[in-house]
Amino acid sequence: MRMHNPPHPGEILRELYLGPLNLTVTATAKALGVTRKALSELLNGRTNLSREMAIRLSKAFPNTDIRMWLDLQVQHDTWVAEQRAPQIDVRPLVPA
């Protein structure tokens, strides 16, 4: 089932993990081994979740796995692409 406007993985991370655990961006970035800027950009939806970051998150939050994080990104990206689809002009290819 498709979601309507699925959240960016950064929003999930911020709202369901950092917030409830009272984790700061600085402390989380340090634990993940990334810069504060890199984490902040992810949390604010300015960058996509990389495979490497998905691995880091799955190690930091044991009840998650890399596929969960990457699936969140795919769902978000797919919805964004679907919103742009009407503006993409393509000529159908049919057999000659």
Contact (CB, 8 A) for 58 and 69: yes
Location of structure tokens 């978000």: 76
Decide: helix, strand or coil at residue 86.
helix
Q: What's the whole-model pTM score?
A: 0.88
What is the distance between the alpha carbons of residues 95 and 64, in angstroms, rounded to a whole number? 46
Rounded to the nearest 10°, the torsion over CA 70, 38, 16, 63 is 50
pLDDT in tens, 12-37: 999 999 999 999 999 999 999 999 99
Residue-range domain boundaries for the chain:
9-78
Query: Topology of domain 9-78, per CATH?
Result: 434 Repressor (Amino-terminal Domain) (1.10.260)
Q: Note the pLDDT tens digit of each residue in 45-89.
A: 999 999 999 999 999 999 999 999 999 999 999 999 999 999 999
